A and B are shown apart, each in its own frame.
Chain A
Amino acid sequence: MIAIVDCNNFFASCERVFQPQLKDSPVVVLSNNDGCVIARSNESKALGIKMGAPAFKCAEIFESHGVHVFSSNFALYGDMSRRVMETIKPEADDMEIYSIDEAFLTFEGPDSEARARALCFKVEKWTGIPVSIGLAPTKTLAKVAVRIAKKNPSSRGVTSLRSPADITFALQRCSVEDLWGIGYRSAEKLKSFGISTALQLSQADSSWVRRHLSITGVRLQKELQGIICSPVNGLTPRKQNIRTARSFGTEVGTYAALKEAVSTFAVNCANKLRKEGSSSSTITTFIHTNPFKPHATQYSNALTIKLEVPSNDNIEIVSAAIKALKKIYRPGLAYKKAGVLVGSIVPASQVQLGLFDDVDRTKRTNLMKSLDSINSRLGRDKVRLAVQGFDRKWRLRQERLSPCYTTRFSDILTVSIPR
């Protein structure tokens, strides 16, 4: 059986571990820059606060219901995620970390449901994070199962879809748009052909599915029928592209400030490439103004620069990102967001050198190695390219940031025990 372990309201739960007085109170976590709601406790969901709702539109409901609002604290969530995954690992036969708060596991043997229940208990006890587990023959069905586990308190965190009758029953009650891998458009298309439940999709003619949803649709259909198309894979797949983007705390107008931000994002992408031993040959920079200010002049643009030789070198990636920025920048506007995306990723060891390449690659690789080793000791971006600057006018707005309880000694939980 394949299990998916999914942390309940993960970011909100992380905050609650260290603030137990919020146990039954509405909690929300806002995205970078306190922009919109990205996590909600069950109490907040019950108040009708929607995922992705802009924070300024929720101000009233936050106020009137005493909602506890947090800026996102990714240092904390990242560490809590690591703890959750490490707690799960010894209990599974195989494990694939799927996202910050989800992991696929395989459970062999007839006692998989009992093992899932024990795991559910263990993760909450060890880390304080409540999880739900869906068990089924395939990943897609496990996703269906975990949805049921989350919605029905009677499942006590674990739902197992084992027998064909159980699976049919669950698929009948699952709409196609709730399936893993079905986007809004595919769902609309399916519905226009009268396919609205997962069961209907699993029983549809497979050549029809192939025609309308391509090979991905066929795979999905097979998974719904209990045939594994996407096995649990302990190896993390190489990323297709890497993106670093931020909304700015306050809007940015000057080229200098944007250049600083874009270089920092580009360096961030290059760091990630080196970390996984990859190189990229297409570097895209994008910028846009604030769409929530309809009266301001709106502008958005993106440009991709292609490198002759795939690279993970800070200097090359930053140069390309700035070259793109220079072309798309328009003065006199208030920019709200910028980002860098690196694509066409290949393993660094398989890079083909260019015929007219004049960069001393060995020297540059060594330079990056030294840079990484210094920064890993002294802190991120301690040694940086001058273009990254120190102004950080574009930095995040995080007005309601909780302490980094688990990663900084200066921030650990303080308990007062006078009595």
Chain B
Amino acid sequence: MGKKLKWCPAGDVDFGSVPFFDEGVPAGFPSPAEDHLDLDLDLNSYLIQHPSATFCVRVEGDSMTGAGIQSGDVILIDRSLSPQKGNVVLAVLDGEFTVKRVDVVDDRLYLIPENPSLKRIEVGEESSFRVWGVVTFVIHKV
């Protein structure tokens, strides 16, 4: 055959640049998927609707486990959304950050933890309170 095998260390092969499908399959039926090659799934576009208003925050503590937010998780906050009753929000209560579900009952504002051992917090008129942003997703490592 005259051709020599060329050895190269495995580290030199850049698998990242090997396309998954390619033309030029030497024999056999051409791949019917070729014309349907799509871009990679983009997690950013799935998770983030308003990039300039979205922030990542890490949560420590167990008060929101019932909403699927475990200690150590990263949550995504979209500041562009207006908080609605029932939303989980990142809020600033008397100068401190917290994550809670907001509820309004009889014109009173409550912050509801999602943990049966904890009580709801009433936001009185004397306290300073504002919503920093609405929580849209939780990133949890399984």
A interface residues with partner B (beta carbon < 8 Å): 20-21, 23, 82-84, 86-87, 125-128, 405-406, 409, 412-419
Bound CA–CA A334/B51 (angstroms):
46
Instruction: State how many residues of chain B have any CB contact under 8 Å with chain A.
Output: 28
Q: Which residue of A lies closest to B50 (CB)?
A: A126
11 more contacts with CB within 8 A, not counting A406-B55, A418-B63, A419-B61, are: A82-B52, A86-B52, A126-B80, A127-B52, A414-B58, A415-B60, A415-B97, A417-B60, A417-B99, A418-B61, A419-B118
Among candidates B51, B53, B61, residue contacting A417 with C-beta atoms closer than 8 Å:
B61
19 A-B contact pairs sorted by A residue (CB < 8 Å): A20-B95, A82-B52, A83-B52, A83-B53, A86-B51, A86-B52, A125-B53, A125-B80, A126-B53, A126-B79, A127-B53, A127-B79, A413-B56, A413-B97, A415-B59, A415-B60, A415-B90, A417-B60, A417-B113
- Residue B137 at the chain A interface, CB threshold 8 Å: no
> How near does chain B come to A103, taking the closest CB pair, in angstroms?
13
Among candidates B56, B80, B97, residue contacting A20 with C-beta atoms closer than 8 Å:
B97
A412 B74 Cβ-Cβ under 8 A:
yes
> How near does chain A come to B91, taking the closest CB pair, in angstroms?
10
Produce 1/0 per residue, B10-49, CB < 8 A to A: 0000000000000000000000000000000000000000
Residues in B neighbouring A406, C-beta threshold 8 A: 55-56
- Residue B104 at the chain A interface, CB threshold 8 Å: no
Bound CA–CA A127/B74 (angstroms):
19
B60 A414 Cβ-Cβ under 8 A:
yes
- Residue B122 at the chain A interface, CB threshold 8 Å: no
- Residue B136 at the chain A interface, CB threshold 8 Å: no
- Residue B110 at the chain A interface, CB threshold 8 Å: no
Among candidates A21, A23, A126, residue contacting B52 with C-beta atoms closer than 8 Å:
A126
B59 A417 Cβ-Cβ under 8 A:
yes
Residues in A neighbouring B90, C-beta threshold 8 A: 415
Bound CA–CA A343/B63 (angstroms):
58
Which of A125, A128, A416: most chain B Cβ within 10 A?
A416
User: If the complex has contacts A417-B63, A418-B62, are A412 and B56 also in contact, measured as CB distance less than 8 A?
Assistant: yes
A415 B95 Cβ-Cβ under 8 A:
no
B80 A21 Cβ-Cβ under 8 A:
no
Bound CA–CA A288/B132 (angstroms):
46
Q: Which residue of A lies closest to B58 (CB)?
A: A414
Produce 1/0 per residue, B92-116, CB < 8 A to A: 1001111110000000000001000
> How near does chain A come to B1, taking the closest CB pair, in angstroms?
35
Bound CA–CA A82/B54 (angstroms):
13
Bound CA–CA A409/B92 (angstroms):
22
Bound CA–CA A405/B132 (angstroms):
15
Residues in B neighbouring A417, C-beta threshold 8 A: 59-64, 98-100, 113
> How near does chain A come to B137, taking the closest CB pair, in angstroms?
14
Residues in A neighbouring B61, C-beta threshold 8 A: 416-419
> How near does chain B come to A14, taking the closest CB pair, in angstroms?
12
A419 B113 Cβ-Cβ under 8 A:
yes
A23 B95 Cβ-Cβ under 8 A:
yes
Q: Which residue of B lies closest to A125 (CB)?
A: B79
Residues in B neighbouring A20, C-beta threshold 8 A: 92, 95, 97, 132
> How near does chain A come to B14, taking the closest CB pair, in angstroms?
12
> How near does chain A come to B17, taking the closest CB pair, in angstroms?
12
Which 3 pairs, one residue from A and one from B, show the smallest C-beta to C-beta distance?
A21-B95, A417-B61, A126-B53
Residues in A neighbouring B96, C-beta threshold 8 A: 21
Residues in A neighbouring B98, C-beta threshold 8 A: 415, 417
Residues in B neighbouring A416, C-beta threshold 8 A: 60-61, 97
Bound CA–CA A84/B51 (angstroms):
11
Q: Which residue of A lies closest to B132 (CB)?
A: A20
> How near does chain B come to A197, taking the closest CB pair, in angstroms?
40
Bound CA–CA A281/B59 (angstroms):
52
Bound CA–CA A415/B76 (angstroms):
12
Bound CA–CA A418/B60 (angstroms):
7
Residues in B neighbouring A418, C-beta threshold 8 A: 60-63
> How near does chain A come to B118, taking the closest CB pair, in angstroms?
6
Which of A20, A23, A84, A405: most chain B Cβ within 10 A?
A20
